[in-house]
Structure 1
């Protein structure tokens, strides 16, 4: 691989914003790719993949480069040099890379790779927490899986198409994919591509949604004609899946505390042809009280640590703090107590997170069931998904039923 100066400079600029400007990697990469219209797919791929790769392995690369945060631009070049050497890339004769110690880099890599927190590039506190909650063996396997690049998985919108028809349609646009056994609406792409520019996407034939996330709709088990409340809907990935399962019949009330996310949901719903979705901003407790005991199904896709989706959001490793985990667990419990009031007698509620920590998952459900608010509920079933076992995002979902 030959390194091109303008592309590498873009990577360095992006790393500076992510590491020193505390900006989110996905937003930074999105802006970087708009910098030069002349860049082709390969150029854009280099910028995105290299940036994410260095973010993912920040601790390991910084230790090898012997630099500490906050990183100067010189530090960032040293980290980039480590990345390039470890990939066997021939370094150009640029001033920024002239003193890169290739032999020492390889030696340090071999040395540090014997230590898990460096090998898997993770903060000390997170490593200790993972061992405490999952055990040494499971945590080691899970970390390794969460550092792999995630497949691109899409969900066929059954309001407009099916998996087989979508697969053929994408092939017409030179995008190869294959179905996933056990996931009736899913296709996995053979290679990464800018699928958002395809006609199939513009026509609402599919949405990008990881396989684990697609299982939530099965747990909710919403039927046509029901009233379903998606309480933490965000931009609506699961809302749209539910709308398709309900065949546009009945009512889905998509709620969130962020109005801008619900605006995006409305736009996506129009493209998907989902007409049974109504959005409501949770700006006071009255919004919840108005729906007391009125919903056949309630979905709580709760805010969480996001440790199950580190493959997609590697910068979360560095932004997450122990104090946030403590506060988010309180929030999860409060949400369960508040939003469960919307479930009618005989109705069902699903609690879901994209976390792999039992303290955010089964422990939260058990605490709720022991509380006054959960006294009339029973746990029907739950499912913990580990990336190391499933090959997809780490996830948790629990189905609870309200007694008649």
Structure 2
């Protein structure tokens, strides 16, 4: 996910010529739909921007309102509870509660928004959804918030879980886990990073262009960008002046949007020209297409996924990037026996996971995840590894990765797999990482695992292991 409002263009054929609703009202509609549909805010926001005839300034404001309010929802909920008695709070309609969140987010976190504008617009919205009493309540709470900017939180030393959860806007069960592992200071840093805007990287398509050529093209197109010191094909976009998909370099397939943590996985897999490779959980295809680029678009990649919509994106990306060695299979990779009779050279398992390493991109994920789901993911991850282990050649490579930082989904899955599959042996990922990454302290563990923490390494939280099949099943 990217916080930049120009990430997708508005589609002119669907434009509404008049913006009938205020930006704050549109933000509320998106938040209500996100909760009701259990859908990603990013997808709903992008659809909304494509439908509306918004200025670039309005897109930026809308994006900040939506993502910011979701990121800080726990903190905003705590603040509302300081100003409204419990009985009254329980009776609040979702529309009024979310209107309060939006108003408070502007007052506490958006310095450029005048307090009076946040209050007046919120009151008008509340009146549309409730009665005059709802408008009065919103008015009273927000005016009180303006006067009481210094909120009192539970004592950090006595109630660290409650303090960090309320002040830094994370569910208590996540805070409790991290406190046990990282201590107070690191847990606060981790929460703060999760509440920040993520950096924006693209991957050069080296089948078509060099990084220097791409940088020159971006400069001509008015895009502020710089080469990454970490990964040779990576470029950081500093500022977009126009929609990404309107760029000629994008249309020509010169790059793919991908975070640097994710880019490292193809390096660890180290695919070679002419090989047969499986990408077990592939959509929307950032890693599949990167693997194809490593292979010089020669060989075969079987890309499995159960998500039809995301596989459609993979197909579109392949066409744009000029990649034709990827065969898309819309099925659960645990059914791999139906599609493979022989053995393959390498397999990547980018496993479904809790996503707790990428919370700054998936803003609603922390409010939807549960402790129980971590154990469910762990079971699924092991089942996927167990299923695909049979179709790797002798001396073949298996790479496992997740975008979470939780041990049950990372180290513990691998420990169990190796214990039950003595035909596989661990290999350190270090020799396969780009030189810039190898210089980063503690990014590879003593066991040779890649372990990226978002608060320590300024990259998405990620985990990866490389294994070689040295025996038979």
Q: Same fold by TM-score, threshold 0.5 exceeded?
A: yes
Query: What CA distance in whole angstroms lies between the structure 2 residues aligned with 1:341 and 1:136?
Result: 44
Query: What CA distance in whole angstroms lies between the structure 1 residues aligned with 2:333 and 2:201?
Result: 36
Provide the secondary structure at the position in 2 that maps to 1:190. strand
Query: What CA distance in whole angstroms lies between the structure 2 residues aligned with 1:55 and 1:314?
Result: 6
Provide the secondary structure at the position in 2 that maps to 1:375. coil
Query: What CA distance in whole angstroms lies between the structure 1 residues aligned with 2:51 and 2:314?
Result: 28
Q: CA offsets per residue over residues 309-330 of structure 1, 9 Å max, x none?
A: 1011110011112222221110
1:343 Cα deviation from its structure 2 partner: 1.1
1:234 Cα deviation from its structure 2 partner: 1.3
Provide the secondary structure at the position in 2 that maps to 1:308. coil
2:67 maps to which of 52, 56, 64: 52
Unaligned runs of 5+ in 2: 1-19, 82-88, 125-137, 157-162, 429-448
Question: Is residue 153 of structure 1 aligned with residue 169 of structure 2?
Answer: no
Provide the secondary structure at the position in 1 that maps to 2:405. coil
Query: What CA distance in whole angstroms lies between the structure 1 residues aligned with 2:56 and 2:457?
Result: 30
Query: What CA distance in whole angstroms lies between the structure 2 residues aligned with 1:16 and 1:69?
Result: 17
Unaligned runs of 5+ in 1: none
Provide the secondary structure at the position in 1 that maps to 2:398. strand
Where does residue 11 of structure 1 map in the other structure? 27
Q: CA offsets per residue over residues 179-198 of structure 1, 9 Å max, x none?
A: 11121111111125531221
Where does residue 373 of structure 2 map in the other structure? 324
Over aligned residue pairs, what C-alpha RMSD do you find?
Answer: 2.2
1:293 Cα deviation from its structure 2 partner: 5.8
220 and 284 in structure 1: CA distance in 2 versus 1, 3 angstrom threshold: closer
Q: Could you tell me the TM-score, scaled by structure 1's length? A: 0.92
Q: Is residue 60–residue 112 contact of structure 1 (8 Å, CA) maintained in 2? A: no
Q: Is residue 62–residue 68 contact of structure 1 (8 Å, CA) maintained in 2? A: no
Query: What CA distance in whole angstroms lies between the structure 2 residues aligned with 1:184 and 1:158?
Result: 10
Provide the secondary structure at the position in 2 that maps to 1:207. strand
Query: What CA distance in whole angstroms lies between the structure 1 residues aligned with 2:92 and 2:203?
Result: 40
1:352-363 equivalent positions in 2, closer than 5 A:
352-363=401-412
Where does residue 43 of structure 2 map in the other structure? 27
Q: CA offsets per residue over residues 163-191 of structure 1, 9 Å max, x none?
A: 11111111111101001112111111112
Question: Is residue 267 of structure 1 aligned with residue 316 of structure 2?
Answer: yes
259 and 82 in structure 1: CA distance in 2 versus 1, 3 angstrom threshold: closer
324 and 389 in structure 1: CA distance in 2 versus 1, 3 angstrom threshold: same
User: Which of structure 1's runs of 4+ aligned residues deviate more than 6 A?
Assistant: none
Provide the secondary structure at the position in 2 that maps to 1:32. helix
2:455 maps to which of 370, 388, 393: 388
Where does residue 468 of structure 2 map in the other structure? 401
Q: CA offsets per residue over residues 321-379 of structure 1, 9 Å max, x none?
A: 222222111000101100111210001100000001122111111110001xx210011
Query: What CA distance in whole angstroms lies between the structure 1 residues aligned with 2:347 and 2:190?
Result: 30
Provide the secondary structure at the position in 2 that maps to 1:232. coil
Q: How many residues of Structure 1 are paired with residues of Structure 2 in the alignment? A: 397
1:268 Cα deviation from its structure 2 partner: 1.1
Where does residue 102 of structure 1 map in the other structure? 145
Q: Is residue 380–residue 400 contact of structure 1 (8 Å, CA) maintained in 2? A: yes
Where does residue 273 of structure 2 map in the other structure? 224
Q: CA offsets per residue over residues 63-108 of structure 1, 9 Å max, x none?
A: 1122569753222222222112113432234434643223454122
Q: Is residue 112–residue 119 contact of structure 1 (8 Å, CA) maintained in 2? A: no
